[in-house]
Amino acid sequence: MLRSSKTSGSVSAFGEVQVSLSTFALLFSEVVKYAQERSETVTDIHDRLASYGKIVGIRLLDVVTLREKGYRRETKLLGMLMFIKSSVWKNLFGKEADKLERSNDDQCTYLLIEKEPVVNTFISVPKDKGMLNCAAFVAGIIQAMLEASNFPCQVSAHWWNIGTAYVIRFDEVVISREAALVDGTR
């Protein structure tokens, strides 16, 4: 969990390591710099950041489900999305994500909205890479968690009028499985 304090990292009674915001900002800016040095286009940087996020997401899923749920994983789509919006976000950023919405146009698409993502706060973007959204790293975390929980999807981070929207597009099989679960309980 991130915290804005001038003291060094500490361990809580539950074994949670708290990292200062300045330490996270330094480390994450180096990750972005590393991705930029190895990429030609903004899309390449997004892809690299997402792949780094996937590595974190797979490991984080195990840690958070063990702490929060006694290693009981969500099997329903909405439950998993709410778990990410609340528990995962609290473990990563110390607060819940701002909104979770289902798209009106496409039943396979959900939006997780964050007004001020900390991953975009301390990054200065060069003018030639103006559309760079470092929240692609968090999109990778979300995608890895959902896929590891048997919810195949594609997640991307997009600038939105008041922050960043993580667009989560599930495979048709996920939506049809959810519909079958709902029909089976009626």
Query: Which tops the pLDDT comparison, 19 or 146?
Result: 146
Q: Could you give all domains of the chain from N- to C-terminal order, each with its CATH number?
A: 2-185 (3.30.1380.20)
Whether 5 shows a pLDDT value over 70: the answer reads no
% of the chain with per-residue pLDDT over 70: 89
C-alpha–C-alpha distance, residues 19 and 2, integer Å: 5
pLDDT-derived band at 123 (thresholds 50, 70, 90) equals confident
What is the bridge-based pairing of β-strands 17-20 and 2-3? parallel
The b-or-e profile of 95-124 (16+ CB within 10 A means b, else e) is: eebbebeeeeeeebbbebbbeebbbbeebe
Whether 175 shows a pLDDT value over 90: the answer reads yes
Whether 4 shows a pLDDT value over 70: the answer reads no
pTM for the model stands at 0.87
* DSSP H or E stretch at residue 166: strand 163-170
Least confident of 26-30, 109-113, 181-185: 181-185
- Tokens for 91? 């473990």
